[in-house]
């Protein structure tokens, strides 16, 4: 069964439940597809099963038996999972304004700032930490989910560019009209994102006008 689940993990949620009537089989299921914990009510308070599920996908925290869901070790394990976005789960609402717990989620993927409290989205240190931990393969932008004040922060923009993200389209207009941002951007492999800078900047640095797509 392990070979089958390793090849097609989602079968853990599709195969008949009676196949997983023993703990060893459940461990294989949640180890391959963490959120399949939803199917196994008899094991939603089993420590081994919970830890295995959370290691695979932090979003499995929502299916842990309610009496055990606030176990600090489980919460931290869920938030530290690189796969899934545990912080967006409703059961994680109490932790979204806790800097310690949010930082764990951000270390796994900076884009998790999207589900942090408004206070932390406006906290410079938290924002900078998030930008530095954004995964390049993740389709969302960390800067996009910061407060309007920090989307207008030159320091945050420069960190974002130097980290290789260059989510220029999410900077404030003031920053997209900034010579310092332009010069920093041009010095990187993301200089092609100059098309998101202001018309003044594009003309000044002899960049082709792309129709003010980001103005």
Q: Is 71 part of any domain? A: yes
Residue 55: φ, ψ to 5°? -65, -35
pLDDT band of residue 213 (cuts 50, 70, 90) is very low
- Choose one of 58, 83, 108: the last residue of a domain: 83
Q: Is 128 part of any domain? A: no
Q: Is 52 part of any domain? A: yes
Q: Is 208 part of any domain? A: yes
**Weakest-pLDDT range from 103-107, 121-125, 211-215:** 211-215
Q: Is 3 part of any domain? A: yes
**147: helix, coil or strand?**
coil
- Choose one of 48, 83, 118: the last residue of a domain: 83
Q: How far apart, in whole angstroms, are the C-alpha atoms of residue 98 and residue 115?
A: 12
The pLDDT value recorded for residue 137 is 62
- Choose one of 49, 83, 117: the last residue of a domain: 83
Contact 194, 209 (CB under 8 A): no
The overall average pLDDT reported for the chain is 92
Model-level pTM?
0.87
Residue 139: φ, ψ to 5°? -70, -15
CA-based nearest residue to 56, from 103, 13, 15, 1: 13
Task: Compute the C-alpha angle 108/89/81, nearest 5°.
Answer: 25
Q: Is 47 part of any domain? A: yes
Q: Is 135 part of any domain? A: no
Reported as type and span, the H/E element at residue 72 is helix 72-79
Q: How far apart, in whole angstroms, are the C-alpha atoms of residue 45 and residue 49?
A: 8
Instruction: Look at the chain and count its residues.
Output: 215
What the block records as the tokens of 69 is: 């869901």
> First and final CA of the chain: distance in angstroms?
54
pLDDT digits (tens, 9 = 90+) for 56-87: 999 999 999 999 999 999 999 999 988 779 99
Total number of domains in the chain:
2
Higher pLDDT, 67 or 209: 67
> By residue range, what is the domain housing residue 14?
1-83
Q: Is 214 part of any domain? A: yes
The pLDDT value recorded for residue 208 is 45
Q: How far apart, in whole angstroms, are the C-alpha atoms of residue 157 and residue 118?
A: 19
């Amino acid at each position: 069964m392990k070979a089958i689940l390793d090849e097609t993990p989602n079968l853990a949620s599709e195969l008949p439940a009676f196949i997983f009537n023993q703990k060893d089989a459940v461990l294989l299921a949640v180890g391959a597809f963490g959120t399949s914990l939803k199917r196994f009510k008899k094991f939603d308070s089993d420590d081994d099963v919970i830890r295995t599920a959370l290691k695979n996908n932090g979003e499995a925290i929502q299916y842990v038996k309610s009496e055990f869901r606030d176990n600090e070790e489980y919460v931290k394990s869920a938030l530290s999972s690189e796969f899934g976005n545990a912080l967006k789960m409703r059961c994680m609402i109490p932790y979204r304004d806790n800097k310690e717990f949010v930082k764990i989620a951000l270390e796994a993927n900076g884009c998790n700032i999207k589900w942090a409290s408004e206070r932390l989205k406006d906290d410079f240190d938290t924002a900078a930490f998030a930008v530095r931990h954004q995964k390049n393969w993740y389709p969302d932008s960390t800067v996009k989910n910061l407060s309007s004040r920090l989307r207008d922060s030159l320091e945050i923009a420069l960190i974002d560019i130097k980290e290789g993200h260059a989510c220029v389209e999410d900077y404030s207009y003031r920053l997209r009209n900034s010579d310092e941002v332009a010069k920093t951007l041009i010095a990187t492999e993301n200089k092609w994102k100059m098309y998101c800078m202001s018309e003044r900047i594009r003309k000044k640095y002899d960049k082709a006008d792309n129709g003010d797509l980001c103005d």
